[in-house]
Amino acid sequence: MDHEAKLLDLQVEPDITRNNAGGRGTKTLSGGEKSFSQICLLLSLWEAMGSPIRCLDEFDVYMDHINRKSSIDMLMLAARRSIGRQFILITPGSRSDISLAPDVRVK
Query: What global pTM score does this model have?
Result: 0.78
What's phi and psi for 86, nearest 5 deg? -110, 135
| pLDDT given at position 23 | 66
Query: Which sequence spans correspond to the domains of the chain?
Result: 11-97
- For the cut 70, the answer to whether the pLDDT of residue 22 exceeds it is no
The superfamily (CATH) of domain 11-97 is P-loop containing nucleotide triphosphate hydrolases (3.40.50.300)
Q: 52-94 pLDDT, tens per residue?
A: 999 999 999 899 998 899 999 999 999 999 989 999 999 888 8
